[in-house]
Amino acid sequence: MPLTLEEGAYLVRLARNAIETYLKEGKKAVPEKTSAVFAEKRGVFVTLEEYPTKELRGCIGYPLPIKELALATVDCALSAAFDDPRFPPLELGELSRCIVEVSVLTVPEEIKVSSPAEYPKKIKVGRDGLIIEYGYASGLLLPQVPVEWNWNEKEFLSHLCQKAGLPADMWLSPSAKIKRFEAEIFCEEKPGGKVVKKKLVR
């Protein structure tokens, strides 16, 4: 079931509150008991972007539905703020300059092809997020990433490989497994501001 804008806004506020509570009190926020939708296990990612530059400041998530949505959102918010290895931990003064975005994922499904060359025709930029698995390496890109960078499907696959630390053409290997998923994306228009549902258009 798709989330309503109100439900998406709740998750975004939950993520911001979790970060703020940890920064001010050093403890993990516990979500209130709310509607059943937040008790469902869902994959979720929390992204932090600097405002107004939209530069990435952190992004961590659970690709698979392993935890209740509300609890997963709190976990991912804290991880995006403090545990993303690409960035130093967020400081209190920074939060007021960051936009919070929450992406709620469908369950990833393996893309079936008779030849890896078919992958670009089997995916769609603006709809799909992708996961690649090759041996012990794996990488994930959310659906909004190729739209923001204006990549085509082949570029999307190449950057996915690089995200996993693999050569850019590794998606052409028969040993690579590629999965697709979709996401509902809710984000603040400005730090702490109105929450909107993001429409991905090229």
Q: Which domain holds residue 52?
A: 5-106+182-197
Rounded to whole angstroms, the Cα distance separating 59 from 36 reads 26
| Confidence tier at 49 by pLDDT (50, 70, 90) | very high
Q: Which residue has the tokens 């709310």?
A: 34
* C-alpha distances out from residue 150 to 48, 50, 123, 133, 200, Å: 20, 20, 15, 24, 11
Please indicate, yes or no, whether residues 43 and 125 belong to a single structural domain of this protein.
no
Rounded to whole angstroms, the Cα distance separating 176 from 188 reads 36
Please indicate, yes or no, whether residues 66 and 135 belong to a single structural domain of this protein.
no
Rounded to whole angstroms, the Cα distance separating 110 from 123 reads 11
Give the CATH number of the domain where residue 154 resides: 3.30.1490.150
Q: What is the pLDDT of residues 53-93, one digit of tens each?
A: 999 999 999 999 999 999 999 999 999 999 999 999 999 99
Please indicate, yes or no, whether residues 175 and 124 belong to a single structural domain of this protein.
yes
Q: Residue 202 falls within a domain, yes or no? A: no
Q: What is the pLDDT of residues 179-194, one digit of tens each?
A: 999 999 999 999 999 9
Rounded to whole angstroms, the Cα distance separating 12 from 202 reads 24
Please indicate, yes or no, whether residues 121 and 24 belong to a single structural domain of this protein.
no
Q: What is the pLDDT of residues 117-139, one digit of tens each?
A: 999 999 999 999 999 999 999 99
Please indicate, yes or no, whether residues 175 and 101 belong to a single structural domain of this protein.
no
The pLDDT assigned to 1 comes to 75
